[in-house]
Copies of this chain bind each other. A is one copy, B any other.
Amino acid sequence: MKYSKNDIQEKIRKAVNDVRTQNPMAPSITNSVTINLVANAQLAVGGSAAMVYLPDEGEGMAEAAKSLYINAGTMIPVYGETLPRTARRLSKLSRPWVLDPVGIGLGGLRTELLTSMGTFRPGIIRGNASEIIALAGLWNAADVQESNVRGVDSMDSVEDARDAADALALFTGGAVAVSGADDYVTDGVNKVTAHGGSKFFPMITGAGCSLGGVMAIYACVAEPFIAALTAVNIYNIAGQRAEKACEGPGSFQVHFLDELYRSTPDDVAGSLFDMA
């Protein structure tokens, strides 16, 4: 269903507010580099965090929570069992879970697991441009060009990834968010470019991972497209404000968490975005 800008802003206000009043828990299976920032960002917007590694704990969390965040960042052997079992349970329960295909293309286990995730239809996929292009290729969701991943960095522009993102959204029936200087959020019908953020986001580790974790928090109270855009908007407005107050990447991260906490529903709904 295609929304008006007013519809979207009203839904964003409600999502921000509902998370603050309901304190929903969105568990994560995520990398060890940025796991602390993921949890702190989830808490700063009003949610609750819980991180697990083991297969039966992933399944238990899929049962207990309304959404869950899976980030492929730092693979360990037990994930070979944990990720498919958790994703299968999430899919069976129709949970709008969030997939972050960090590091796609590196290593045998990661490739095998990310390939298999396509059948479990994540409600939201979040990545940088190169990751989204690569995932669309891996799932044969689109006829895509070669992507250019380098470690965790994107070598493609958000503009380059729009078609892949739209195709992935139609493939999963959910939403896709491409992070970059501007951000693109799509469910295949509603297509939005969001502005703001900060030049310091790429200079701290975990801006993208924690954004994915916050999407899972909003996915506990809102549909995937709204959840993804609400998270993108609160990151854009909080990032802008943190950049003004900071003196470098260290103080940026501190102010950024403060601003996630301080942003009002009107701030987040009013953060700049254009509709296609």
CA–CA, A107 and B54, complex, Å: 8
Give Cα distance in the complex from A31 to B257, angstroms: 22
CA of A160 to CA of B5, assembled, Å:
48
Bound CA–CA A53/B77 (angstroms):
9
Q: How far is the CA of A77 from the CA of B255 in the complex (A)?
A: 37
> Within the assembled complex, what's the spacing in Å between the Cα atoms of A110 and B54?
10
Most chain B beta-carbon neighbours within 10 Å: one of A253, A258, A262:
A258
Q: Which residues of B contact A137 (CB under 8 A)?
A: none
Asked whether A25 lies within 8 Å of B249 as measured between CB atoms, the reply is no
Task: Let me know if A25 and B64 touch, CB within 8 A.
Answer: no
Q: Which of A106, A109, A205, A206 gathers the greatest number of chain B CB atoms within 10 Å?
A: A205
Whether the pair A108, B56 counts as a contact (CB closer than 8 A) is yes
Interface size of A as a range = 35 or more
Tell whether A140 is near chain B: CB-to-CB under 8 Å. no
Contact of A250 among B34, B48, B253 (CB under 8 A): B253
Q: Does A247 contact B258, Cβ atoms closer than 8 Å?
A: yes
* Residues from chain B with Cβ under 8 Å of A251 in the complex: 254-255, 257-258
The 4 closest A-B pairs by CB, nearest first: A250-B257, A248-B258, A50-B151, A39-B205
Q: How far is the CA of A213 from the CA of B256 in the complex (A)?
A: 25
